[in-house]
A and B are shown apart, each in its own frame.
Chain A
Amino acid sequence: MSPNTLVAGSFRDPAGQVHKWRNRVFRTVLGPGAAAFDAVRATGFLDRLVAEGRLVPFTHVVDKDILQEFPDATCVLEHPRLQAISYPYEWSFRQLKAAALLHLDIALDALGADLVLSDATAYNVQFVGPRPIFIDHLSFRPYRMGEYWAAHQQFCEQFLNPLLLRSQLGIPHNAWFRGSLEGIPSEYLARILPHRARLSFRMNVHVFLPAYFQKGTQRDALGPAAAPRTKGLSRSGFEGLLKQLRRWIAALKPADTNPSLWGDYAEANSYADAETRAKGEVVRSFVATRKPALMLDLGCNSGYYSEIAIEAGAGTVLGFDFDQTSLDKAFQRAIDRDLQFVPLFLDAANPSPSQGWAESEREGFSKRMLGDSVIALAFIHHLAIGKNIPLQQAVSWIVERARSGLIEFVPKSDPTVQAMLKHREDIFPDYTPEAFSACLSRCARIVASKTVSGTGRTIYEFVRED
């Protein structure tokens, strides 16, 4: 029997941990967190959040065989498995904003129920379709009169500062957040914000002054644990902080609102409507046959084909693109049509690595993003020609994502590839349909192929035989 495994990233909280066992997800409540969890549970607040779809559902485990697996736990909860786990550095601006608002709304409602959130990590939010959902049931504890919002700095570094980076400076948060897993430090953001930002009261409250006072104060500010408690932050002050942040974040927009290179791609691409329809039909027919519970759409753009796949019977689609404007449009599509579609940021030539503590705290793309099917339409030339990745490696990497899929080959004669080669030497003599189909045949069986454009774009359907 396989031993239960502690979910990486769940080791820090002494109140409890998340385990995977027999393909199920369990959360232990440990000694230090038991009293707080019982008190929170008794308020009915968690049940309310679950009913509203804002917290992952949970059941109390009573099965003795399961409880035996967790001898240290005072109680064990079971959660339904989420289709996919994503991280804030893979989210678009709009997703991070939605996650921030969820966190603040829950914190405000919690305060109304005399509870507080003990932390404010963005990793406690996941996406089910376009809806953010809170996943940490042990983050809540009873509110203590006069306490400060201990998670304020963490909230700023993991939500506010990454959003300000894009809304004030037009810089997407993804690369910085990925390199700095605890978020973007206020100290560094304060150095690059424009001078006019110093005139803003809320910028001072949440960025400049915390950064200023933090400087050179690494000595222990916490004092002895048994220190007598005096009145600190009033409850209305606590609420005021949360409300001010909520109003501010709700109004944030990306500074770089110009249409990006790929942002209007779906509407103004180089192929005609008939081709778009032909591609859509190939996707529809493939999905209707395979019925993937989880499908990956590499190079999803604004999610046009992801939507067709969902209509045709795909359970959940994870879309990937490197363009921020496309991702924002794709997220809007998921909201507007209520699709089980999660568009995520991916530079396919440099996917999220396994990283954090022991290089396993946050799992890398290749382990985490595996589907039942994958589609990669108008994608492979960006790797093979845009990034000089050998064709065989690019094909194998796509095929590793799922046992069945569609890959579109865009030949050199296509205007898109011609544009890519316009200002550089053509060092790709082997970039041909024949070479592509040979590469694909080495790692999968080609089931069908269909030419979908006058320029020779062809979609190959494959099945992995292993």
Chain B
Amino acid sequence: MPSPKMLFAAALTFIATSLPAHAYLDPGTGSLIVQSLVGGVLAASTFTAVYMGKIMKVFRRITGRARPGDTDPSE
């Protein structure tokens, strides 16, 4: 099993290759490592919120409890 130090070094290398080229603000290594670790989770939560909203709309239409915004013809 890789040690925490090895994981950390791998994360640093990964992050070093994905930074904006001329940032004048020091972004803080700790923050960037965490973003690389939890970015997927946060992205998933955003998608879940969007799709749950859509699923709920469909569900409300089926059950006849549609709200004014639910009958958007573009959907």
- Residue positions of A touching B, CB distance < 8 A: 12-15, 32, 118-119, 144, 146-154, 156, 186, 205-206, 209-215, 217, 221-223, 225-234, 236-241, 243-244
Contacts of A228 in B (CB 8 A): 17
Nearest to A154 among chain B residues (CB) is: B25
| 7 cross-chain CB contacts under 8 A | A32-B22, A150-B19, A154-B28, A210-B28, A217-B30, A221-B16, A241-B39
Instruction: Tell me which of B8, B29, B43 contacts A236 (CB under 8 A).
Output: B43
> Which residues of chain B come closer than 8 Å to A227, judged between CB atoms?
16-17, 19
Inter-chain contacts of B43 with A (CB < 8 A) = 234, 236-237, 239-240
Asked if B33 lies at the interface with its beta carbon under 8 angstroms from chain A, I say yes
A214-B30, A232-B18 known; A13-B35 Cβ under 8 A: no
Residue contact B29 to A146, C-beta cutoff 8 Å: no
Asked if B17 and A223 make an inter-chain contact with CB atoms under 8 angstroms apart, the answer reads: yes
- Write out the residue numbers on chain B whose beta carbons fall within 8 Å of the beta carbon of A150: 19-20, 23, 25, 27, 32
A12 to B14: give the CA distance in the assembly, Å. Answer: 28
Is B32 a contact of A221 with CB atoms below 8 Å? yes
- A244 contacts B45, CB within 8 Å? yes
Q: Are A151 and B25 in contact (CB under 8 A)?
A: yes
Residues B25-47 near A (CB distance < 8 A): 25-47
Query: Which bucket holds chain B's interface residue count?
Result: 35 or more
Residue pair B16, A236 in contact (C-beta under 8 Å): no
Nearest B-chain residue to A206, judged by Cβ: B34
For the complex, what is the distance from the CA of A186 to the CA of B40, rounded to whole Å? 23
Whether B30 pairs with A213 at a CB distance below 8 angstroms is yes
Min C-beta distance of B72 to chain A, whole Å: 19
Kindly report which residue of chain B lies nearest to residue A227, judged by CB atoms. Answer: B17
- Among B39, B40, B44, max chain A CB count under 10 A is at B39
A36 to chain B, nearest CB (A): 10
- A387 CB to closest chain B CB (Å) equals 40
B23 touches A232 (CB 8 A): no
Q: A205-B34, A213-B30, A232-B36 are in contact. Are A240 and B45 (CB under 8 A)?
A: yes
- Residue on A nearest B49 in the bound complex, by CB: A243
CB distance from A222 to the nearest CB of B (A): 6
The verdict on B12 contacting chain A, using a C-beta distance below 8 Å, is yes
Other A-B pairs beyond A144-B20, A146-B18, A233-B18, 6, CB < 8 Å: A14-B24, A148-B31, A150-B19, A150-B23, A154-B25, A211-B30
Complex: A13 Cα to B8 Cα, angstroms: 31
Chain B residue nearest to A214 (CB atoms) is B30
- Establish whether residues B35 and A148, one from each chain, have CB atoms under 8 Å apart when the complex forms: yes
A15 to B23, CA, bound (A): 11
